[in-house]
Amino acid sequence: MQFTRIAKALPASLAALGAALIAFLLLGGEGARAGSLAKRVAGTDMAGKTREQVAVAIEKASTLTVCDGVPAAVEGAWPCFRGAKLDGIGTERAPLAREWGPEGPPVLWTIDVGEGYAGAAVLNGRVYLIDYDREAQADVVRCLSLADGRDIWRFSYPVPVKRNHGMSRTVPAVTPAYVVTLGPKCHVVCLNAETGAFVWAIDLVRAWKAKVPQWYAGQCPLIDRDRVILAPGGDALLIAVELATGKVLWQSPNPGRWQMTHATPMPMELRGTRMYVYPGSGGVAGIAAEDGALLWQTDAWKISIATVPSPVIAGGGRVFLTGGYNAGAMMLKIDAQDGAFAARTLYTLDPKVFASIQQTPILYQERLFAVKYDGQLACADLDGRVLWTSGSGNTFGLGPYALAQGLLYVVNDKGRLTLVDAGAGEYRRLAEFEVLQGHDAWGPLAIAGGRLIMRDFTRMVCLDIRDRAARAAQGGVQ
Amino acid sequence: MSDHETTPIPRRGFMRAAARAACALGIGGGAAYLVAPRTPGERVWQIDPEKCIACGNCATYCVLRESAVKCVHSFAMCGYCELCTGFFNPSPNDLTTAAENVLCPTGAIVRRFVEDPYFEYTIDQNLCIGCGKCVKGCKMFGNGSLYLQVIHDRCLNCNQCSIAAACPSEAWVRVPAARPHLWKKVT
Amino acid sequence: MNPRGPSLFAALKSDARAAARTALVTGAFAAITAAALLAYHVRGSAEDFIDSAEIADLKSALAADPDNGALKIEIQERDLAIRRAYFAKLARLDRGIYLLLGGVLAFVGSLAWMAFARRAAPKPGAAEPTAAAEARATLSARWSVAALAVIAAGLGAAWAGRSDLAFLDRAVQAIEEAKAPPVLAPPEEIAKQWPRFRGPGGLGVSAYLNVPAEWNGASGAGILWKTPVPISSDNSPVVWGDRIFLSGATKKRREVYCFDAATGALLWTGKVERVPGSKDGPDDIMEDTGYAAPTVATCGRRVYAIFANADLAAFDFDGRRVWARNLGVPENNYGYAASLLVYRHLLIVSYDQAKPEDNKSRFLAFDIRNGKTVWDTVRPVAASWDTPIVITHAGVDQLITCSNPFVIAYAPDTGRELWRADCLNDDVAPSPVYAGGLVLAVNTGAQLSAIKPDGTGDVTKTHILWLAEDGLPDIASPAATDDYVYLLTTHGLLTCYETKTGKLLYEEDTDLSFNASPSIVGDKLYLISTKGVAIILRIGPTYEELGRSELGEGVHASPAFQDGRIYIRGKKHLYCIGAR
Amino acid sequence: MTARGAISTRAAAGLIVFLALVAAVVAVALHDPIGRRGNRLGRDFAYETKDLRPIPPDLIRYAERAAFDAGLAVPRAIAVDAGDKIYVAGDRAVVWFTTHGAPAGARALDGEPTCLAVGADGTWHVGLGGHVEVFDPAGARAAAWTPHGARSYITAIAAAPDAIFVADAGERLVLLYRPDGAFVRPIGGRDAARAIPGLVVPSPFLDLAMGKDGLLRVTNPGRRKVEAYSLEGDLCFAWGEAGAAIDRFCGCCNPVHLAVLPDGALVAAEKGLATVKVCEPDGALRCVVAGPDLLGENALGCDVAVDSRGRIVVLDPAAKKVRIFEPAPPGGSRSQETGSAHE
Amino acid sequence: MRFPIVPTLALVAILSGGRAAAEQRFPPPDFSPGYSLPVTEAQGAPARADARGYIDAAVLAGALALASYLALGRRSRRGLVLLGLGSLAYFGFYRHGCICPVGAVQNVVLAITDPGYALPLTAALFFALPLLFTLFFGRAFCAAVCPLGAVQDVVLASPVAVPGWLARALGLVPFVYLGAAVLLVATGSTFLICRYDPFVGFFRLSAGLDLTIYGAALLIIGVFVGRPYCRFLCPYGALLGLVSRLSWRRVTITPAECVRCRLCEDACPFGAITTPSPETPPARRAGKTALAVTLLALPLLMGLGALAGRALSPAFAHTHATIRLAERVWLEEAGEVEGTTDQSDAFRATGLALDDLYLAAGALRARFDTGTTILGVFAGLAAGATLLRVSLRRTRRDYEADPALCLACGRCYRYCPVETDRGKRHRKPREAAP
């Protein structure tokens, strides 16, 4: 009986199968080779003198000086710009002081640094810094002891840079094995994080026709797993470089020939697709992390003079963008449909309402914290409603801020550190201390191992910001 | 069998057997004679790069839909030039890798900067269709380091190669399987 | 065996309808797949995708506007799209071919199923074989073999009819001929014929004395036959044995004619077409010169012709073209006019053009067997319209050429220069003659020069025996005997000099106009005017007219003299004058 | 099955067979039975240089005055001596001709010559692969120099009264020797301190010539430049741009040959679409001597020499001819227009 | 296969030799340390190993042995079908029909005529093994080893008998085809059999539209006409047919004695079953006269064939590339055609003399003249032989398989009641007649 039925059902089922196969034939894609087809644009040969050549040049011209510093036996990491989670929030375990005495938090060490705004990265008891040595006319990648600020090693290579509001202004990115820095003239150097030994280098200008931004590069290298993400602009909007080798893994197209900005690309996950959000000179784009494909772009957000703050990934496909030069702020929403992405504007904010000129706002507990054009600290919700401001009596200029354990550390132009309770529904200052009395203390902060590293134009300071009990338990200054 | 039983004529059977033996001897011996003195023979098809005029027949006459012939590059002969006429149009707009400047119809030649003034050119065999355009360009202005070869893991090694039959310059030859390529190289 | 129903085998066996349906479905699938594949195939060969006219157009647009960034981006995008389409097509073909294979296999399988389900039991044939049936079968087998043979013969004939290897015969023949010493007519035979412009030596001297002196075109008296020439041109008849050769050309057509000397019938017309490198024209040509001013030449086995566009062709006496080549249209303001001549196995071509300083003028010699260049000599002279002659002086053959400003003698076998004399000027059309051991060269604007041809190098100051300046012709060549030199101008002024001294003997105005060169027959001088009036004079120190004959048709060509006959090319007809 | 059914089945089968037979015959007939169809690739697959071949007539200011057979199977180099005798090296010999091209003599060599120079005193220097041999004016071998390096491959020699310059394409250097064969110094090696980028020589073409300004002109074919060096080895200046236009040098190695005119202008020859052109000492294109319409496509390029009267003597390796060019008014000459018709 | 017809390449050798020497001794650029030259693409790809060919030959020998056993010993139609499918899969689709005995004929001829050609051992084996097997066991190769046969056997669904007279005439075609193929190989023109192999495109899953249509048409015909290629085209089949007349053992319809039940009369889709002679023989006299006439006509037929073949010489000659090239160059030189072809350009690029080309073509033409004449004689002989066979009459008492035509497919076994009876005794029948 069954076999009879099978025989009877055979024609119909074969017909269905055939229809499916014919559909597959007619509608099927481009086959295996489609993957190796890419738009043929200029510069894919990395012509005009590239990686290898620059690597050779930098390596040849470089000097590695081993100094007497010793890494601190301190846990805690701030491995790159905006910290481990790229959110500007420290992951401190030891309780932090909620108030300081009049003497302020203990200053562990102070060192002189070249003019600029380059912030520190911290890992394994080491502090990494890209500095500029004006006398030697050289970029200097410095590895300092977190304990006392003494150099462990210095790697320098000559780059002539003229004074223009300082020189170095980027934060290194570091893994246990490698440290990657981006110099003021867009030289990307990868060194052994422990020894400072040269690994590879890329001159973004020569290799990718990047244009050095006004006031030199402010973009910080982004290490995403095993690769370094850089946004050279020019021949490629973004490139992914294998961290260990310097091999270019992919490059994304740059149809609009956008140029490099001071912003750093920020990773975002959306519907299972990992992408990098980068505001270039001509708009904002989302680049697939896998292959560098341009997933979406919009010219709704562009700042003609300089884009400095990096995008804030606000969850749910939202990207918060802000900037100076009368740009204000904007919330983008990235919609994903059938694997295609598109950006739309959720809202824009007047610069007077809520914006940041230079520092990237911090998103904490669905609240955005930023210092506005008038120097007031402001807190807004994700719909762009300002919840509170610090008032005209409490201004911070263009200084940086970072967050840890609900405490917002805000620095003003001159180097005064203010501790603000981020969890309160209003501006509540917990403590304040004049750490430095310099100017242009705009370098991003780093908070790691109970320490806060901040700088002004020429000095870098490491503070112990743990509370007394923790300090006692874990040991004081070594 | 039935013959033997139904027509029992021994003489006829004997003659058939003799003829059969002669025939077997002829076939076997003849084949052996033809094979014996000439081994090891020339077994596989290859293109003599010195004779090849890169006409493009290789790309179309192969019995395979995608030809077994592809371009290869003898790096040791290459000038590593910036202005590579195997890579660029005869009159490129600019010496960049953009589509408007480059020659290869499928984008199979990959150019990579090595150091001033050298560029390295490699063939993505996945994309190469063996049209020979770059071969012509390289031969005309360059060292002739790009040239067409039969890729043996594609070639079916037909008795009569359709491309060989269509080759205008008698560049198709049989070569020993042990040395299946006619490489252009520095010795 | 199976309690729940028949076995699979039996189920399949019993269901012929299912088999038929399956066959239908699988057959349809295979057919659709095949159709899809066919459609891909027909949509253009795979290469058409990538061989994009669109990209080519964009690229040429970019060449015109090299900085157009938008265009570049468009090219890059189209380029990617096209390459994607190309590889997509390949991928689809790949998929399709496997689907088709699967479909066909399924179809064949279901057919087999069908056959299996429908298979009937063996049954015996209709009838026992009979002797008659066997005989019929044998007969029809014979006929079918015959029919097959007929069909094969028909197909073979159709196939064979499309191919012939005539070219190979000719090629091999040419090779053998070129290897063998050239077959040349003996000099005494050449002397009896009229193988080139102005006869065997190019001097306008008849070897025969028995030629008619009287005729009348209107009445037909003394005219053996007249026959129309398809294209009117001004080149002169050439005669070898029973064949008369002429050529004719327009801007686009170039032809060689062979007439039967006995009847005047046009034996064949050789068309000179599809010569490699040949162009029509030129456009700016003087009407009086036309496209076929040069007279043909023959070696006795072939006839050679050259035209205004410098198409040079050789025909055998049966009208088959043996070889042809084009030399490139010469720069010649009136149109190319120099006639050909054959020296031994060399066909010598005067290829003067442009101005002396242009250095474009050359003399070339071609192997008459295959048209290959034997020598090629560059000359520092201007364009010329005269025809060279080959003389034998003191046992040495010399090729005498005239062109502004030099008379140059070359060794005819190598093209090596022997001597030159600077004694010509402007446009040189009259050909040189040789008489009394002197080369006589003349043109208007210069003088008549008598040159001793035994010098080397520049002989201007040393070997010019005498000069004369009266009655200088601009078209017609001189005629000369050892004693007298005759010059005839276009306007009819006949001037006679003493050959040895250059002394002017007489001048006579004939009141006619002339393009044809004067000819010598024994002691008579034949002049034929442009209106077709022939004057026959006695050669001597004084003007003595023996008679006049009228052809009734204009004549620009010089006559050809043979045994008892004169061949004259009129504007439209070829005439044979002689006694019946 | 009824008889009728059988008949109709057979008829249908017969019809199908017939149609298939017709299709088969047509298909086989359509099949390129004797290979006439040729390449089925389209125009995009042609390497099209026809746009590059024509040379603007007003740029051609030389005319071919004479051409004669070099009489060698593989002529490689040409030189002209002070008396305007023309020397051609090739096969395993040097042959020489009068200034008009009449053969005047020959001398066999021990190897394949790669280049040749004849000095003012009549001494020949012949490059034989890796080394130089010196012959006295009578053709007797006077010396054989040792190769400079393991890779030495001599492609050009220039003889000045007190210096012999040797272009060593293998070592990518110009070697300066004293006439007695003593090595003085290399010139043209990569030297960052002296800002010398180095000679890039992808194929065996490197030529040099002594300029009238006392600077040595060296081709840098891989960079498509002509470089001028002082005798001390300092790079004074360089010119030349890569490109297919007539005033540029194309391909992976051009120019391939150089010569200097009496007024100091340079004659530069290119391979590929063989071209000979005249450039001012600073590199500006003055005019073209002959282009690919005459010289054709060849992978060797034409060696060039200049005689005392300023005639340019070109060795055309494809036609195995020596061609002599003299200045002529622009607008083309017969050689450019009709040269191809009688080759 | 093209012959190196152009007589001397000495000049080219000198030219290219000189240049090649210069190229070869020239070193790559001076790179900074750290750069190493890449490996040339596909440098690692080895040629198809010779071992492959030996495996093929071994598979062939095994398949032949198995087919012979199945056809003669086991008398298993089903086994033959399965083996045929296996051969189709292996020699056809897996080995792309690339090396097959049908084409190997040409390799053998080439080895005979061109001393420069080395006959691969595999080609020799592929040529000889089926012939030898046929010599001893009949056409078992055709039954289940040849992929071309198998693919046609698979599609044969509704056989229609081809009339005997037509089959006789069409049976001549393979001989002419074979002769033409031999001629074209011997003159160095082309491998005709490979070129028009109808099914190899299917095996490779890639063929031009024309050959696809040709193959498909043959398959469509093959649905109704049993194995049209094998019977009416296959040149190797012609050879096998000849050889199989001598075969030691061959397929018999009945395993024991024939009972003349006539059940097998329609069994063979290939028309290979000969019926018993009629009881009353036709007039002997008429038969003898016909035989005598045919014998006398044989030389005439051969002569006619020679004339026809000679007339076809130019047409055949045009299949040769050198002759076509010579013609093309001639026409170009004479200006009778516009432009040049790749062939003529390539020829001119060699710098060889035109005359040598013409002489080579001339020499080739002479070979074609001789060859086509022989081909014509051969065709006449084949036609005569067919007529002779028609005229010869042998008395047959049983239904027998014609030794030349029988493809040993085994279809007739199951029609024979003797076989069925024997089968019943041996094993339980798996298929029941309805």
The pLDDT of C149-162, averaged and rounded, is 87
Average pLDDT value over all residues in chain D: 86
User: Which positions in chain B touch C60 (Cβ < 8 Å)?
Assistant: none
User: Which positions in chain D touch B79 (Cβ < 8 Å)?
Assistant: 200, 202-203, 222, 252-253
Bridge-based pairing state of the strands A377-381 and A367-371: antiparallel
Chain B: residue whose CA lies nearest to D36:
B166
User: Which positions in chain C touch E289 (Cβ < 8 Å)?
Assistant: none
- Cβ contact B180–E111 (<8 Å): no
Task: Please give the residue range of the domain that contains residue A228.
Answer: 43-474
Q: How far is CA A122 from CA A68, A77, A130, C578, in A?
A: 18, 5, 12, 124
Of B82, B112, B116, the CB nearest to A46: B112
The pLDDT of E114-138, averaged and rounded, is 88
A to D contact (≥3 Cβ pairs closer than 8 Å): no
Q: Is E388 on the interface with C (CB under 8 A)?
A: no
C to E contact (≥3 Cβ pairs closer than 8 Å): yes
- Tokens 């054009």 belong to which residue? A373
Residue E331 amino acid letter: L
Of C145, C175, C178, the CB nearest to E168: C145
pLDDT of residue E23: 42
Of B98, B113, B126, the CB nearest to A41: B98
pLDDT of residue E420: 75
The 10s digit of each residue's pLDDT in C401-421 is: 999 999 999 999 988 889 999
Instruction: With beta carbons less than 8 A apart as the criterion, state whether E172 and E232 touch.
Output: no
* Residue percentage of chain C with pLDDT more than 90: 59
- Testing the interface with A: which of C4, C7, C15, C100 to mutate, by most A Cβ within 10 A? C15
HSE value, Cβ hemisphere, 13 Å, CA-based, for C19? 21
What 8-state DSSP symbol labels residue E94?
I
Alpha-carbon torsion (D59, D62, D68, D69), positive or negative: negative
What 8-state DSSP symbol labels residue A466?
B
- Token readout for E203 is 């095996």
- Cβ contact A49–B116 (<8 Å): yes
- C-to-D residue pairs, Cβ atoms closer than 8 angstroms: 50
- Testing the interface with D: which of C55, C360, C372 to mutate, by most D Cβ within 10 A? C360
Bridge-based pairing state of the strands A89-90 and A318-323: unpaired
- Cβ contact C97–E205 (<8 Å): yes
pLDDT of residue C207: 93
- A-to-B residue pairs, Cβ atoms closer than 8 angstroms: 53
CA D131, CA D183: separation in Å to the nearest integer?
A: 13
Is A266 part of any domain? yes
The 10s digit of each residue's pLDDT in D124-147 is: 999 998 899 999 988 899 999 999
- Cβ contact A33–C99 (<8 Å): no
Q: How far is CA E239 from CA C302, E102, E170, E316, in A?
A: 55, 10, 15, 23
Say which CATH number the domain at A383 has: 2.130.10.10
Is A457 part of any domain? yes
E202-205 long-range contacts, CB within 8 A, separation 24+ = E202/C101, E202/E92, E202/E151, E203/E92, E203/E93, E203/E96, E203/E97, E203/E147, E204/B63, E204/B64, E204/B156, E204/E96, E204/E97, E205/C97, E205/C98, E205/C101
User: Which positions in chain A touch B113 (Cβ < 8 Å)?
Assistant: 45-50, 52-53
List the domain boundaries for chain D.
Answer: 57-342
Q: Is B116 on the interface with E (CB under 8 A)?
A: no
Of B89, B99, B105, the CB nearest to C50: B105
C249 vs D27, higher pLDDT: C249
User: Which positions in chain E touch C279 (Cβ < 8 Å)?
Assistant: none
Inter-axis angle of helices E101-113 and E173-186, nearest 10:
40
- Testing the interface with C: which of D41, D44, D294 to mutate, by most C Cβ within 10 A? D44
The 10s digit of each residue's pLDDT in E128-180 is: 999 999 999 999 999 999 999 999 998 888 888 888 888 989 999 999 999 99
Q: Which chains touch C (3 or more CB pairs under 8 A)?
A: A, B, D, E
Q: Following CA atoms D95, D97, D103, D109 in sequence, which dihedral angle do they give, to the nearest 10 degrees?
A: -10
A282-287 long-range contacts, CB within 8 A, separation 24+ = A282/A256, A282/A257, A282/A258, A283/A256, A283/A258, A284/A311, A284/A319, A284/A321, A284/A332, A284/A343, A285/A237, A285/A252, A285/A258, A286/A334, A286/A341, A286/A343, A287/A237, A287/A238, A287/A252
CA A29, CA A19: separation in Å to the nearest integer?
A: 17
Q: Is C72 on the interface with B (CB under 8 A)?
A: yes
pLDDT of residue E253: 87
pLDDT of residue E395: 77
pLDDT band with cut points at 50, 70 and 90 for residue B34? confident
φ/ψ of residue C574, rounded to 5: -105, 130
The 10s digit of each residue's pLDDT in A123-170 is: 999 999 999 998 888 899 999 999 999 999 999 988 877 777 888 999
Chain C: residue whose CA lies nearest to B129:
C47
CA E184, CA E319: separation in Å to the nearest integer?
A: 8
pLDDT band with cut points at 50, 70 and 90 for residue D225? very high
Q: Is C275 on the interface with E (CB under 8 A)?
A: yes
Q: How many helices (H) and strands (E) does chain E have?
A: 19, 2
- Token readout for E153 is 């056997």
CA A79, CA A89: separation in Å to the nearest integer?
A: 12
pLDDT band with cut points at 50, 70 and 90 for residue E3? very low
pLDDT in tens, chain A (478 residues): 577 777 788 888 888 998 998 888 877 766 777 667 888 888 777 655 444 555 666 777 788 889 998 999 888 899 999 999 999 999 888 899 988 888 889 999 999 999 999 999 999 999 999 999 988 888 999 999 999 999 999 999 888 777 778 889 999 999 999 999 999 989 999 999 999 998 888 888 877 878 888 888 999 999 998 999 999 988 889 999 999 888 888 888 888 888 899 999 999 998 888 999 999 988 999 999 988 889 998 988 888 788 889 999 998 889 999 998 888 899 999 998 887 899 999 999 988 889 898 899 999 998 999 998 888 999 999 988 999 998 888 889 899 999 999 999 999 999 999 999 988 888 999 999 999 888 889 999 999 989 999 999 999 999 999 988 877 776 654 4
Instruction: With beta carbons less than 8 A apart as the criterion, state whether A402 and A89 touch.
Output: yes
Residue B7 CB contacts under 8 Å (≥ 6 apart), including other chains: none
- Contacts with E, A 6-65, CB within 8 Å: 52, 56
- Cβ contact D333–C378 (<8 Å): no
Q: How many domains does chain A have?
A: 1
Length of chain A: 478
Provide CATH code, domain C175-578: 2.130.10.10
HSE value, Cβ hemisphere, 13 Å, CA-based, for C308? 28
Is A28 part of any domain? no
Of D17, D74, D151, the CB nearest to E221: D17
What is the least distance, in Å, from the CA of B94 to any CA of chain C?
9
Residue E285 CB contacts under 8 Å (≥ 6 apart), including other chains: none
SS3 annotation, chain D: CCHHHHHHHHHHHHHHHHHHHHHHHHHHHHCCCCCCCCCCCCHHHCCCCCCCCCCCHHHECEEEEEEEECCCCCEEEEEECCCCCEEEEECCEEEEECCCCCEEEEEECCCCCCEEEECCCCCEEEEECCEEEEECCCCCEEEECCCCCCCCCEEEEEEECCEEEEEECCCCEEEEECCCCCEEEEECCCECCCCECCCCCCCCCCCEEECCCCCEEEEEHHHCEEEEECCCCCEEEEECCECCCCCCECCCCCCCEEEECCCCCEEEEECEECEEEEECCCCCEEEEEECHHHHCEECCCCEEEECCCCCEEEEECCCCEEEEEEECCCCCCHHHHHHHHHC
Residue B126 amino acid letter: N
Residue C269 amino acid letter: T
Is CATH 2.40.50.140 what the domain over D57-342 is classified as, yes or no? no
* SS3 at position A431: strand
Q: Is B79 on the interface with D (CB under 8 A)?
A: yes
Beta bridge partners of A144: A127, A151
* ipTM for the complex shown: 0.69
Instruction: With beta carbons less than 8 A apart as the criterion, state whether E95 and B158 touch.
Output: no
* SS3 at position C519: strand
CA D105, CA B83: separation in Å to the nearest integer?
A: 42
Is A37 part of any domain? no
- Cβ contact E29–B41 (<8 Å): no
User: Which positions in chain C touch D341 (Cβ < 8 Å)?
Assistant: 277, 325-328
pLDDT of residue E257: 80
User: Residues of D at the C interface (Cβ-Cβ below 8 Å)?
Assistant: 40-45, 63, 65-66, 326, 328-329, 333-334, 337-338, 340-342
- Cβ contact C72–B93 (<8 Å): yes
- Token readout for D269 is 């020859």
- Cβ contact B99–C93 (<8 Å): no
- Cβ contact E169–C141 (<8 Å): yes
- Cβ contact A22–C36 (<8 Å): yes
What is the least distance, in Å, from the CA of C91 to any CA of chain A?
5
- Cβ contact B2–E400 (<8 Å): yes
